[in-house]
Amino acid sequence: MFDARAFVEEQVEALRAAVQGRAIIACSGGVDSTTATVLASRALGDRLLAVYVDTGLMRKGETGDVEETLRGLGVNHRIVDAAEEYFRALSGVTDPEKKRHIIGNKFIELFEREAASFGADTLVQGTIAPDWIESGGQLRDRIKSHHNVAGLPAVMKLKLVEPLRDLYKDEVRQVARALGVRVAERQPFPGPALAVRVLGEVMPERVAVVRDACAIVEEEIEAAARAGSMKLPWQYFAVLLPVQSVGVHGDVRVYGHTVAVRSIESVDGMSGTYSRIPHEVLDRISVRITNEVRGVNRVVYDVSNKPPATIEWE
Ligand code: XMP
């Protein structure tokens, strides 16, 4: 039986022995990175800096939630507001691979800057067992360049410490509970965030549209799952398409945005089938998006499986 309390004590000792100077960690707000952050903070106190980069591409409420969690747990942290910098770097870019590279490189640049100003010589990462076991033959990496903080240590020449390296997800959750960490466990979310759900140029107004539409998809699907009318899918979100179409609003002709709703059943994200969502749920999503999200007059449902489609549209 895995003993989470004993694990915490053991790792606090190990971290103190491994880190003489200062350490830095990138905290995304997910379970793994938050658990590693709190564990390392318990061992190192103010010798640890947790950095959360607000790219301006995050989901609704995400940055505020992370800040509240870190503050509540007494972790020394910095929220880097980099939205303007990201939008500037992405201006005029429509190619999905270019977007991914710009976002990944910008992250490394910002993180390096923070590490240098804090004087860190060690990088703590929340890598867990499946992350490195699966990194043998990642098919998906040949299809899209995944943005991941796994590339950081090589670039930064910092000493790497990975306290959760031998744990599986359920054990990480036990450690999180033992540390008093409460992270709302959300569905998988890509590193390049909402940028890959805005097809075409990534601009603040377009990100705002997809952010609101994603929140509605999440709310309605989660409510339907709670009510027992469907199972919670593996992943469910909205995508803003780079097309406009004609509609009517009152008796006025409008030329508005189109949003695609994507919902996928999968075990590991490597393959998947589209969710057979009840039509009443799709209907509520459609009505809410067209009523509540400015400029959207059409909602379509994506009925493609993976393969041949991928889960995200970019
Ligand atoms: P695709 O779109 O390739 O996505 O079928 C498979 C799963 O991976 C997520 N995804 C990413 N995760 N960094 C990540 O950590 C990324 O760059 C990235 N791109 C896609 C996607 O949301 C799905 O769960």
Q: Best substitution site from 101, 141, 144, 304 to test ligand 1's pocket, by max atoms within 8 Å of Cβ?
A: 144
**Residue 298, strand partner residues:** 258
Atom number in ligand 1 closest to CA 272:
5
Atom number in ligand 1 closest to CA 146:
17
Atom number in ligand 1 closest to CA 144:
3
Please, what are the domains in the chain?
A: 4-179 (3.40.50.620), 197-301 (3.30.300.10)
Question: CB-based contacts of 74: which residues, under 8 Å, 6+ apart?
Answer: 41
> Cα–Cα distances in Å, from 37 out to 29, 82, 163, 182, 227?
10, 21, 10, 13, 35
Ligand 1 lined by 96 (C-beta under 6 Å): no
Distance (Å, whole) CA 138 – CA 4: 30
Atom number in ligand 1 closest to CA 192:
17
Question: How far is C-alpha 41 from the chain's CA centre?
Answer: 22
Ligand 1 lined by 145 (C-beta under 6 Å): no
With vertex at residue 171, the alpha carbon angle to CA 34 and CA 273, rounded to the nearest 5 degrees, is 85
Distance (Å, whole) CA 105 – CA 101: 6
Specify the amino acid at residue 149. V
| CB neighbour class for 118 (10 Å; exposed up to 12, middle 13-18, buried from 19) | middle
Cis link prior to 308 (omega < 30° from 0)?
A: yes
Ligand 1 lined by 128 (C-beta under 6 Å): no
The tokens describing 14, both together, are 């190990």
Distance 229 CA to ligand 1 centre (A): 27
Beta strand 48-54 pairing with 273-274: unpaired
Ligand 1 lined by 192 (C-beta under 6 Å): yes
Write out the chain's pLDDT in tens, 314 residues: 999 999 999 999 999 999 999 999 999 999 999 999 999 999 999 999 999 999 999 999 999 999 999 999 999 999 999 999 999 999 999 999 999 999 999 999 999 999 999 999 999 999 998 887 765 544 445 577 776 665 666 677 889 999 999 999 999 999 999 999 988 778 989 999 999 999 999 999 999 999 999 999 999 999 999 999 999 999 999 999 999 999 998 899 999 999 999 999 999 899 999 999 999 999 999 999 999 999 999 999 999 999 999 999 99
